[in-house]
Structure formats: structure tokens, C-alpha cells
Amino acid sequence: MDQSMNPRSQPSVDSPARTLPPLTPATLYLVATPIGNLEDITLRAMRVLRECDVIAAEDTRRTGLLLKHLEIQKPMVSYHAHNEARRTEEILERLRGGEKVALVSDAGSPGISDPGERVVRSALAAGCRIEAVPGPCALVAGLTASGLPADEFHFVGFLPHKSGQRRNRLERLKEVPGTLVLYESPFRIGKLMGELAAIMPDRPVVLARELTKKFEDFLRGKPAELAARLQERPLKGEFVVMVGGQTGV
């Protein structure tokens, strides 16, 4: 997009700070935060966190560490899966009162397999303004470096924990065109490779873990090969799992 044609484009890094437009009152800002490397915080994200009235954080302790690193002091309220209903109404009240609220998850973009969807829907229904502050996202980081086709992909998020539900979901996903992108924990990654070996044995798979961190790692192979490697050497860290389409790479 030609930035000169975009009325919401931000001035360059070299522009004087006084030219930056102020934050808009009564706005919910969805602020993406680093998924590992703290250098990935954007200039715009830092400004929103500095200038907002309050930060709604998935884990205030974790966000507190990020704010300390950025030398930002700001009031915080918790917003997570166990208090969404109560906190959503509180956030709406703040927005109705004209406050500028920044929503952050523990890492990455709020609402992508993290809390955020509920408050966004409620804020829109209430006529409040929403503004995304884009930045780090594990699925994008993993997919773009995977070597698998990215022109068409299907993001699944986390699979169900129960075996029957997981298998049924994977059976349905087998028919979905394009690259599949999933999130998985280190405790179930071996199980997932076994399931893929049974359901999609010939598909190319890429496992990305510890993205943007010191020990970032990509493992590539067929599901059975990766299952064997994980049995030999269990790996820690959250995984982004990418499965190639039916025609392969």
C-alpha cells in the first residue's frame, strides 16, 4: 500500500515526535507483543503502551516484566480466560468513559489462540472503536520460514485434548486445501506426530519451536520421521506445526 495514500499511516522514525497523532479516546487498542525476542516490540506498540490509560493483560506479572524492560509504568488489570465476562464489562465501562485501553496477551497478537475475541466482539456491539497495533505472531513467523506454500493456509490453533476429538478434527482437516498451521505444547507434540503419521503419513511437516529465541529450531520431515526423532530427544518449548497440502511442497 502507498503510505502516502493511507490517512492512518504513521510518520517515519526520523519524524519529530510532535507530529505523531494522539491516541483516540474511547478506543480499544489490540497490541501485539514479542513472542520471545524483546527487540521485536514495535515503536508504535511502545507508544500505545506509554500513552494509554490502562493495560488489560492476560498475565499482569508477565506483562509487568515487559513494561519494566521498556521503562513504562502504567496501571494494569488482568484479562484472561477465567475472568473474561467480568473484565469485559469493566473494559466496556472504561471505553464508554473515554479511556484508551491497550489489550495484550502473554505473547503475540491478542485474539490469536489467546484471550481477546470476546472483548472485541462486545466492544464492537457496544459501538466502541477498535484499533489493531500489529506485530509479532508465531503462526506468521513459523509459516514464512517453513518453506511450505503460504499462498493458501488454514490456521487451526490448538487441537482438542481428548484423543477421539483430536482424531476427528484431523480427519476433517485432511480434506482442507493448503498448508495447515497448528499450535501444540511440548507435552503433546509426540502424540500429534503419531496421529499425523496415521492420518496424513505422506505430508511434509515442519515443526518450529522457540521462535525468535536463542535456541530457535526448525525440524522438517514426514510425521513418522519426526515422531521417531522426538522419541529419541524430547524437546521443550511451544511448537508451531505446519503440514503441507495434499500435493506436497
Which residues, other chains included, contact 214 with Cβ-Cβ below 8 Å and sequence gap of 6+? none
Q: Indicate the burial class of 193 (C-beta count within 10 angstroms; 0-12, 13-18, 19 or more).
A: buried
Q: Chain-wide mean pLDDT for the chain?
A: 91
| Total-model pTM | 0.87
Domain range 22-133, CATH class:
alpha beta
Instruction: Report whether 130 contacts 30 (CB < 8 A).
Output: yes
What are the phi and psi torsion angles at 224 (to 5°)?
-65, -40
Q: What is the pLDDT of residue 115?
A: 87
| 113-159 confidence digits (pLDDT tens) | 888 999 999 999 999 999 999 999 999 999 999 999 999 999 999 99
> pLDDT band for position 4 (50/70/90)?
very low
| 154-189 confidence digits (pLDDT tens) | 999 999 999 999 999 999 999 999 999 999 999 999
| Helix H or strand E encompassing 232 | helix 223-232
Q: Provide the residue ranges of all domains of the chain, joining segments of one domain with +.
A: 22-133, 138-243
Residue 206 CB coordination number (10 Å)? 23
Helices (H), ranges, 19-176? 43-51, 60-70, 84-96, 117-125, 138-146, 163-173
CATH superfamily of 138-243: Tetrapyrrole methylase, C-terminal domain (3.30.950.10)
Helices (H), ranges, 98-200? 117-125, 138-146, 163-173, 189-199
Q: Rounded to 5 degrees, what angle do the CA atoms 207, 209, 212 make?
A: 130
- 89, three cell numbers: 464489562
Q: What is the pLDDT of residue 248?
A: 41
Q: What is the pLDDT of residue 247?
A: 60
* Partners of 78 in the β-ladder: 57
